[in-house]
Amino acid sequence: MAVVPGDPANSVYVSIGLDANAGSRPGPVDGPGVTYDANYESLGAWQTARLRDLVAVDQTEVVECYNDWPGGLVNTTIVTGWTNDPTHRIIIRSAYQNEPTNVATDGFYFTSNNSRCFQAVTRNVDLIRVGLFPSAGTSAAYRVLELSAGGAGTNIVDQCIIGSDKNASVELILSGQHEVDIRNCFIYGNNASKAMDIGVYSFVFIHANTIRGVVDGIVGTRTGGTSEVRNNVVFAYTGTPLDLAAGYAVGGNVTEDASAPGQVYQITDPTSEFVDSSGANLHIVEGCGFRGLGEDLSSRFTNDIDGDTRSAWDCGADEYAVTAADEYNAMQMLGIPF
């Protein structure tokens, strides 16, 4: 039987946090009634306790994290030593209604004052709907998120919020036939050196991220394989928005530089494009100029940072969605009963 993430018959739910009863809370896929396999105080304790051979037991390890850690989960997490494959994966995600929104105090998040908040040395590890917000640290080599696995497999980073003023928010140090997908993320910093630093790799797909307030946006060398940088929005930088070596497939990108690779729109006034162009809420507004200008990437994913289904393919992490409140206000203005 195929392993289905979210299926309690085949998946392991692990609650992270201080609440000893967290194992009885509902999961985001199955709803009320899901009982987790076990719960641990930290991801370090979870990893120590598990057998770590997912292929042998034919299962996907689903780790659901709750926002009941005061000040965030502070132990630097390094996922390593697992036997898995693209079918038998590790999925680390925030639990239902514990997703981060814009800032470190809202939803589950990793934090650390050491060199990393989160590092995956093991391939086939997915990080979904979590926050990464480092606390005070002075290391010039600080990387908030590092993916450094080699060999065949994939890593997926989806719907995450990364806030950092460190050297690099995301560092990819990859080798072998390895694929990394980073998509639908808000990344913001106070003049962090780089939002993404791509080293040696085989396949990298950087899709539909919104990046604000860094020196350089996406910096990538290229040593082979197929790699894409599409539908990303980079603004309020002081250096180069997209510094890419030859060979990247590009398109649907938005920056303040008219000549950026794959550019479809140039931002001239960020305040007219975002809910909070100088803060952490990087959702776009109704009148945003790059709505509908992104490339159709539905062969790889169909969601945005909020889990909304994409149809118009707005550039960046957020697909503009009309809320019930918007509809109510519009109907009130027209005198239509709601």
Name, in order, each residue with C-beta under 8 angstroms of 148's C-beta and a sequence gap of 6 or more: 119, 120, 121, 171, 172, 173, 174
Q: 8 with 68, same domain?
A: yes
Q: 8 with 116, same domain?
A: no
pLDDT tens readout for residues 104-162: 567 888 887 667 788 888 889 999 998 888 776 555 567 778 887 766 778 899 999 98
Q: 180 with 212, same domain?
A: yes
Q: 151 with 212, same domain?
A: yes
Q: Which amino acid is at 202?
A: S
Phi, psi of 223 (to 5 degrees): -120, 10
Domain C-terminal end among 98, 129, 163: 98
Q: 112 with 71, same domain?
A: no
The token pair that represents 275 in the structure block: 């809910």
Domain C-terminal end among 78, 98, 118: 98
Q: 197 with 236, same domain?
A: yes
Q: 110 with 155, same domain?
A: yes
pLDDT tens readout for residues 193-243: 777 877 766 678 999 999 998 888 888 876 666 789 999 999 999 899 999
The token pair that represents 247 in the structure block: 């060979």
Task: Work out the burial of residue 326: count CB atoms within 10 Å of its CB; fewer than 13 is exposed, 13-18 middle, 19 or more buried.
Answer: exposed
Q: 291 with 199, same domain?
A: yes
Asked whether the predicted pLDDT for residue 325 surpasses 50, the reply is no
Q: How many domains does the chain have?
A: 2
The domain in which residue 192 lies consists of: 105-334
Asked whether the predicted pLDDT for residue 188 surpasses 90, the reply is no
Higher local confidence (pLDDT), 108 or 53: 53
Distance, in Å, from the CA atom of 52 to the CA atom of 285, rounded to the nearest integer, reads 44
Q: 254 with 180, same domain?
A: yes
Q: 166 with 291, same domain?
A: yes
pLDDT tens readout for residues 218-228: 888 766 667 89
Domain C-terminal end among 98, 130, 151: 98
The mean pLDDT of 56-62, rounded to a whole number, is 85
Name, in order, each residue with C-beta under 8 angstroms of 140's C-beta and a sequence gap of 6 or more: 167
Q: 122 with 270, same domain?
A: yes
Within the chain, where are the H helices? 43-49, 54-57, 324-334
